[in-house]
Amino acid sequence: MRHSTTACKKEDFPEQVNLDQAILLPPSTMTWNDMREWQQGGAKAKELAPHSYVGNPAGYEQALAAAPDFIECFADFASRGILSYLYPKPC
């Protein structure tokens, strides 16, 4: 499922989202390889995302209806990580 960080943040942390600014931002595009490099930070990240964001912040409304609950998803992710640490699967 596609999601929008802007949409998720708007739902869970509305005071942290400037929607007036978000709707003015043009979309950015990256390949999966670009994303891997961007996540490493540094000069390459600045080159790949010169405006310090990726995706389509202006498209948050389309994603809002389908956006998963951020806190619920993170809790699920963290719980699975804890369980896999406590009960590792044998090789």
pLDDT tens-digit profile of 10-46? 777 889 889 899 889 988 888 889 988 988 999 999 9
Q: For residue 31, is it within any domain?
A: yes
pLDDT (average), residues 54-67: 74
Average pLDDT over the chain, rounded to whole?
83
- pLDDT score for 1: 39
Prediction pTM value: 0.53
Q: What is the dihedral of CA 24, 55, 59, 17, to 10 degrees?
A: -70
How many structural domains compose the chain? 1
Q: For residue 91, is it within any domain?
A: no
60's CB contacts (< 8 A; 6+ apart) are 4, 6, 7, 10, 19, 22
Task: Give the range of the structural domain holding residue 57, as residue numbers without chain letter.
Answer: 5-86
Q: Is residue 82 predicted with pLDDT exceeding 90?
A: yes
Q: For residue 40, is it within any domain?
A: yes
Q: For residue 70, is it within any domain?
A: yes
DSSP track, 60-85: HHHHHTTPPPHHHHHHHHHHHHHHHH
Q: For residue 21, is it within any domain?
A: yes
Calculate what percentage of the chain has a pLDDT beyond 90: 23
The tokens describing 30, both together, are 């990256």
